[in-house]
Structures are given as C-alpha cells and as structure tokens.
Amino acid sequence: MSFLRDIIQSEKDRWVLWLPMFLAGGIALYFALPFEPVWYAGELLCGGAAGLLFFLWRSPERRFAGMLALALAIGFCLVQARAHMLSAQVLEKKTRAVMVSGKVSAVSIAGVGQRVLIENPSIAGFDKDKTPKKVRIKINGLKTRINAGDMISVKAVLMPPPMPAMPGAYDIPRKFWFEQLGGVGFAVSKANILAVNDSWDSFLGKIRSDINFYFLQALPKDEAGVAMSLVTGEQGGNSRKLANAYRDSGIAHMLSVSGLHMSMLSGMVFSLLRLFIAAFPFLALRYNGKKISAAVAIVVAFAYLLISGMAVPAQRAFIMVTVVLLAVIFDRQAISMRTIGFALLAVLLWHPEALVGASLQMSFAAVYALIAAYEAGAGKIRNYLHTKNTLSRLWRYAVVWLLGVLITDFVASSATTPFALYHFNRIASYSMLCNLLTGPILGVLVMPMLLLACLLMPFGLADMPLSLAGWGISLINDTAYGIAQMPHAVMVVPAMPLWGLLLMVIGGLWLFLWKQRWRYLGIMPIVIGLASPYFYSFPQVLAAQGGKLFAVMNADGKLFIEPGRANRINRESWLSRNGEDYNLYDKQAAEEAFAKGYHKDGVDLKCEGGWCRYAYNGKIVGIASDYDGLKAACKNAQVVFSKVNAKHEYCKAEILIERREMWKNGAYSLLIDEGGALKILNDAEYMGRRLWTP
C-alpha cells in the first residue's frame, strides 16, 4: 500500500490532468443510462460529491479523489441540465405536403440543391405548441440563392428524426435533440423568399454563400466541393464518390474544418507576420514580434471560425489554437498536457454533448497521443540535433523532419483507430502514405492560395490564386482516388462493442497521462479492447424501421439483404457493422438467394407465396409481405415479421412483430445462438426511455 502511495505521490504534478477526464466520465455516465434520471439527479450528485470533498480535504491523496468525484458529478449535472434546457417539440409522424414558412438560420449545399434550417417555423395545420423549434428541408436547385436570415416559404413533406439503422447503431434522435431539430423533409415546390434580413447572422451567411457560389462557378465540381469544405466548412458539394475516396485513403479529416485547418491557417499567419517584423530592425527592436504575431493569428483564426459556420469541430479547434497562442503571449509552455486538458475542459463546458461524437473523440485522442509522444522523445531529439558540425546538423535536421512526419502520422492514426473502429467499422490501410503525400500540398499550396483568393475576392482578383488552389486540390483528389483503389486499401471489421471502446480509452489515458513506468499497464486493456469486435455476435435477422427492408445471414456469416436500391443508409450500416464492405457486397448472390432460394450447412432461405422462410440453428423465421404470406408464416414459423398490420391473437407463431410495432419501436434485430435461444432487440429497447426517444 505504501508502494502505491509513493507512486501516486511521484505523479502529483499530473493529478490535475485527470479532472477533464472525470468530467467527461460524468457526461458519458448520463448518456449510458438506460432511463432518464429525475431532473434533480445531477444536483444530488454534485451536493454529495461536494460533501465528500469537504470530508476528505485534509489529506492530499483523498482530496484528489474527492475532486475527481466532484468533476464526475459536475459533468453529469452539466449535460443533464443542457438536455433539459434544449427540450423542444419533435414531429410524431410523417406529414403530407404542407406550407412551411419562417426564418432561415443556416444554409448548406446538398448536391444540386440546398439544405435550409428554418428556426421557429410556421407549419400549416400545426398548433404553435406542436410545432418543432427547428426543421431542416432540402430544396432542389441552386438558382434561387437563400441566405441565413432570409424569411422563406416552401411546400414540403416533413418527417420525424429517423431511428437508428439497427439497435446499437448511430443514435440520430439524440443528435437531433441537442440540435433542437424536430423534423426533416424535402420540398415539393420552389422556395419563395418573403423578406431579406440584414442582421449580423445574415451578413455572415451571405459571405459564406458568396464564397461557395464563387467556388462553384470558378472551379470544376470536385475541386469546388473540396474548396468549400476547406473554407466554409460546406461538405454538401462533394460527390459521394469523392467523399468515399477521401475516407478510404485516410484523409477524410481534410473535408471538415477542424484542428488541421485552423492550425495551418493560424500557423501560417503567425510565421509570416513574425518573419515580416523580424525583417525590419526598426520594428523588431521595439516590439515583441512573437506576441504580436500570436495575437493577430488569434484574430484571423476567429474570423475563420465565423466564416466556416462555427460548427462544433471548428469551435473546438479554435479553442485549442487560442489556448496555444495565449500560452505564447503569456510566456507559458505552448504545447503541454495541461494546455490540451484546458482545451478539452472548455469544449465540454460549452458543448458537453459533443463528447459522444466521433469528431471530438478522434481529434483529442490524436492530440493527447502526440503530446505524450513529444514528452517522451523531445529530450532525445534535442540531444541528437546537438552538434557543432554544420553539415552534420543539416543532415540531422532533415532526418528529424522526415521521421517526425512519419511518427506524427503513425501516432495520430494509432490514437484514432479505436474510434474509427467503433464509429465507422473501418481502417484506412494507407492513411500514413496518403497524408504524407497530400499534407504538404494542402499546407504549402492549397490553404495559402485559398486564403489569398478570399482576401482578393472583393476586388475581383481571386482567379489566379484560386486556379492554383484548384490545381493543388486536383492533385490531392487524384492521390485520394489512386490510393483508395489500391489492394486492401480498407480493412472493414465487425462492430466494436462499447465495452471494448471503453477499455481502449481507459488504457490510452493511463498510458498518456502518467509518466512513471506503471503507465505501461495501460497496454493490456488496449489489446483486449482491440480484439473486442471479434467477441461480438451479429444478429441473423435484421428489420429496418417499419419493415421497409430485411436482411438475413448466410452460412458464411455474410448478409443477404433484400434486393433493391432503396434504404441505402440501412444497407451500408448493416454491412459495415457485420464487417463487410458495401462496395464489395455481392448483390447478385443476394438476389439469387431471395429469388431461387439458398441452402447451405443447415441455413435455408426460400421465398414464395408472399413470405420468406428462413431457417437457422433449428429455428424458423417468417418474413411476410402480404396477408396470404402472413397466414402461411404464422402456421410454419416460430418468429414472424410482418410487413402488413396484424393482430397477435390471430397468429400461432411464438413471436409476431408486425408493421405498426416496427414503426413505433424502430429497427429490430434477432439473434439465434448456437443452442437455438432467441434474443430480440429493437431500437426503443436499446435506446431506453430518454428525453430524445419517441
């Protein structure tokens, strides 16, 4: 016990680094609950933790434990309060085509159309207390330019937030709840602009819109889409093919305004301004060029934040960059665990719900890992560079630069791998290669030319820098396409269970935040978590919400999904969570299985007479498409999924899941274990009774 106390005491200067982690733990605890706690649960936890801290105050070690408990309670209280504060009406069912009017709060490009977010809308036939606070509508065409702040009216079909593709998949209702987005839909008429607003939001929105449309007119479609992503954060201009190429080549982070872009821009401004001041002795001898450059870089980064739409990833990146530059201004160590810890704390206090998003998790994991690697190797690098021979010193600087680029990408990629596995079920095999090839093009050519183009745009002089930026983007696009098409460019793995991700996160934090040798104990949970996807049992039958789509598993563990092209999101999600690549999916085999039947190793599928008979491990599952098929399925199957409405008392099957239940409860999954036991789960059961669940 004294040995453990000595180790903890030796790490005393690192204790504070765990406070943001326990704050995050409290937030995670709230989201992990299968039920909505009473509204005063957070206050009770905070009160109890404060009392515990007071009781433990005298001993430093116990005081530290009490502070961690208080941070945990504050995180829980904070996110619960925000969840209640953002409470808003959500549509209960799909509407007919109705007139929607209101003020546009945000506009984004969506392929050949626009996606508008209307705040406090007026919806024909809806009482005010039944109207969502925000609705998002896709409007076809780009001829009618809509800006944030405009008052518009449009006829549209609205729908409630979609349920997850299957139990355990991405929780869309939770995301929409914290965005106060109560419905989504599509327009069936042209949008009419009723009034143009000249507010500050409208001014910013018009600038973003002008930049986007200028890019669309001046550059080819793919180059324009990437340019918009880099400058205004607009990703809707990228084709699905290009977005997939960026994802599969490992550079998808380039299409989202985040730490990479914010640090590149602020770093470029900082370096150029400092170089300019140093070039003039009159300025350099009278003013602190380093601090002036840092202050100007903060201002430029803030302007970039406004132009990029102030998305949560951009806000987080701005906070991190600002903290580093403020450290420069106040003569503090700019890159340290305390700096990144403060940035994480600031982000979680501002947007606690961002914790469950892949963007925050991956970016902070990468930065924590890079700082830990820097702490471990900085001394060795300084010793290696220390030499009096000029030629030798130049050679060593070149070696350090090259190894630094490789090691940086390796460390960042390794740190983000757990989250890539959990959220996307895939790893880009050649991420390091693609980042090594495209990073210099982005930093040296594309970003500087885009910045120059934006500055010269009001004067009509942006064509030259924009054409150079477009050429650089074209090189990046070609590289992404080439690497994405290389053999084994993507590794798709089965869905990682939540406990596997938690083990890897805990192990990684243990490894990064401590300095003594006991930190290497964190490797064990990382290894176990990395293997966790292979302990996950995927269900044999899947049904989408409302019974719109079904899938069954064959004898080889692959999915047969009902033929057709609809419900692509469900298809992609199901395949990826089963460790299959959508682009390599054998559609022909699935079509033949549903049309002609499938029989292999005790697994049978046969469709006729309005129903499909699926046998697995001695159990028979029926999927009925009409009432004749329903009658046959009820006579011959133990479990029946019905695409038509049905009454349980008229079906002899052990379990009947009919169309209305699938609409109400969302997607269903059926797992048949080796002993033939059945485990049925739906979205509503998995999500629990929360504020955001229907």
Task: Transcribe 383-414 into DSSP letters.
Answer: HHH--S-HHHHHHHHHHHHHHHHHHHHHHHHH
608 sits in the region (left: phi over 0; alpha: psi -120 to 50; else beta) called beta
- Copy the structure tokens of residue 519: 């930190």
Percentage of the chain with pLDDT > 90?
53
H/E element, 115: strand 113-123
Please check the confidence at residue 199 and state whether its pLDDT lies above 70: no
Give the Cα-Cα-Cα angle 660, 613, 533 (nearest 5 degrees): 80
Name the burial class of residue 63, with classes exposed (0-12), middle (13-18) and buried (19+) by CB atoms within 10 angstroms of its CB.
Answer: middle
**Mean pLDDT confidence for 115-130:** 91
Which structure tokens are listed for 263?
């640090």
User: In terms of C-beta density within 10 A (0-12 exposed, 13-18 middle, 19 or more buried), how is residue 394 classed?
Assistant: exposed
Query: What's the rounded Cα separation, in Å, for the pair 692 and 687?
Result: 9
Cα angle for residues 100, 104, 105 (degrees, 5° grid): 135
pLDDT in tens, 378-430: 777 777 777 777 788 788 788 887 787 788 888 888 898 899 889 988 888 89
Tokens of 392: 């030798």
Phi, psi angle pair for 170, to nearest 5°: -55, 130
Task: Name the nearest CA neighbour of 316 among 360, 263, 274.
Answer: 360
pLDDT in tens, 458-499: 888 888 999 999 999 999 999 999 999 999 888 888 889 999
Nearest to 498, CA basis, from 421, 417, 427? 421
* Residue 122: band (very low, low, confident or very high) from pLDDT cuts 50, 70, 90: very high
Give the pLDDT band of residue 328 (cuts 50, 70, 90): confident
DSSP 317-348: HHHHHHHHHHHHHTT--SSSHHHHHHHHHHHH
Distance of CA 102 to the CA centre of its chain: 29
CB of 640 within 8 A of CB of 653?
yes
For residue 641, the model assigns a pLDDT of: 96
pLDDT of 200 strictly over 70: no
Q: pLDDT tens, 524-566? A: 999 999 999 888 889 999 999 999 999 999 999 999 999 987 7
* Mean pLDDT for all residues in the chain: 89
CB 382 within 8 A of CB 416: no
Q: In the prediction, which pLDDT does 260 show?
A: 73
CA dist., res. 501 & res. 278, Å (int):
48
Of the pLDDT bands very low, low, confident and very high (cuts 50, 70, 90), residue 605 is very high
b/e sequence 371-389, b meaning 16+ C-beta within 10 Å: bbbbeeeeeeeeeeeeeee
Check residues 156 and 333 and name the one with the higher pLDDT: 156
* C-alpha to C-alpha distance for 266 and 288, rounded to whole angstroms: 18
Task: List for the chain the helix, strand, coil content (%; round to 5).
Answer: 60, 15, 25
Q: Which of 570, 577, 511 is nearest to 539 (CA)?
A: 577
Q: Which residues contact 571 (CB under 8 A, 6 or more apart)?
A: 549, 561, 582, 585
**Residue 381: what residue type?**
I
Report the greatest alpha carbon distance in the chain: 94
As a whole number, mean pLDDT of residues 661-681 equals 92
Token pair of 36, please? 């909505």
Collect all residues with Cβ–Cβ distance below 8 Å to 81 and sequence separation of at least 6: 42
Q: What is the mean pLDDT of residues 164-175?
A: 93
pLDDT in tens, 419-443: 988 998 888 889 888 988 998 899 8
Task: Characterize the bridge pairing of strands 181-187 and 134-140.
Answer: parallel
pLDDT at 201 over 70: no
> Residue 578: what are its φ and ψ, rounded to 5°?
-95, 5
Rounded-to-integer distance, Cα 221 and Cα 442, Å:
18
If you count DSSP H runs as helices and E runs as strands, how many of each does the chain have, helices first? 25, 19
pLDDT tens digits for range 66-87: 999 999 999 999 999 999 999 9
Q: What percent of the chain has pLDDT over 70?
A: 99
Neighbours of 481 (CB within 10 A): 17
Q: How far apart are CA 23 and CA 554, in angstroms?
A: 44
Domain 97-197: which topology? OB fold (Dihydrolipoamide Acetyltransferase, E2P) (2.40.50)
Q: If DSSP states are collapsed to H, E and C, what string results for 25-93?
A: HHHHHHHHCCECCCCCHHHHHHHHHHHHHHHCCCCHHHHHHHHHHHHHHHHHHHHHHHHHHCCCCCCCC
504: nearest Cα among 419, 409, 412, 428? 419
Residue with tokens 């990437």: 226
Query: Rounded CA gap, 140 and 204, in Å?
Result: 23
